[in-house]
């Protein structure tokens, strides 16, 4: 009377190789990766943190990636994440306009920044010849995206 311990790798009872792969570990790894990306995605915001004003206007969709200008508290100016002076800002805007006359510029102004400071930055954008300028604000409600004209 002999007894089989079943030590063969991937073999079923009749000695043939197993035809199906166990996908449970793969699904487990994918779910962990999904959770990691869901947690990390909100942390990947672009630019300098500012408290944006709220608006009920709908969002616009654009095909060109915009240049983000930030007016932070204390009068600090940023192009993307790089802090610049007002003179350097003007030079960067002129160079941007020469490189791409259709480049859109989005201005983000903190709520605590005086309205005049934001308008001064918008004036510099206008003097550089850039015509596609938008103010960034937080939406009051989830408004659908509107195609830019």
Q: Which residue has the tokens 């166990």?
A: 22
Candidate ranges 3-12, 22-31, 104-113, 118-127; pick with highest mean pLDDT: 22-31
- Model confidence at 35: pLDDT above 90: yes
Whole-prediction pTM = 0.53
| Structure-block tokens of residue 47 | 């630019």
Q: Report the CATH architecture of 54-147.
A: 2-Layer Sandwich (3.30)
Write out pLDDT tens, residues 98-138. 888 888 899 988 888 888 888 888 888 888 888 888 888 77
Beta carbons of 54 and 137 less than 8 angstroms apart: yes
Question: Where are the chain's structural domains?
Answer: 54-147
């Amino acid at each position: 009377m002999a007894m089989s311990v079943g030590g063969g790798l991937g073999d079923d009872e009749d000695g043939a190789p197993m035809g199906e792969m166990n996908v449970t570990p793969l699904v487990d790894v994918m779910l962990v990766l999904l959770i990691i990306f869901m947690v990390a995605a909100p942390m990947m915001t672009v630019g300098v943190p500012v408290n944006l004003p709220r608006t009920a206007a709908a969002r616009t969709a654009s095909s060109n990636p915009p240049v983000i200008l930030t007016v932070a508290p204390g009068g600090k100016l940023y192009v993307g994440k790089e802090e610049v002076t007002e003179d350097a800002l003007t030079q960067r805007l002129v160079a941007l306009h020469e490189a791409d006359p259709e480049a859109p510029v989005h201005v983000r102004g903190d709520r605590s920044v005086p309205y005049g400071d934001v308008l001064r930055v918008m004036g510099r954008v206008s003097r550089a010849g850039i015509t596609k300028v938008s103010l960034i604000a937080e939406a009051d409600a989830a408004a659908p995206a509107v195609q830019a004209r």
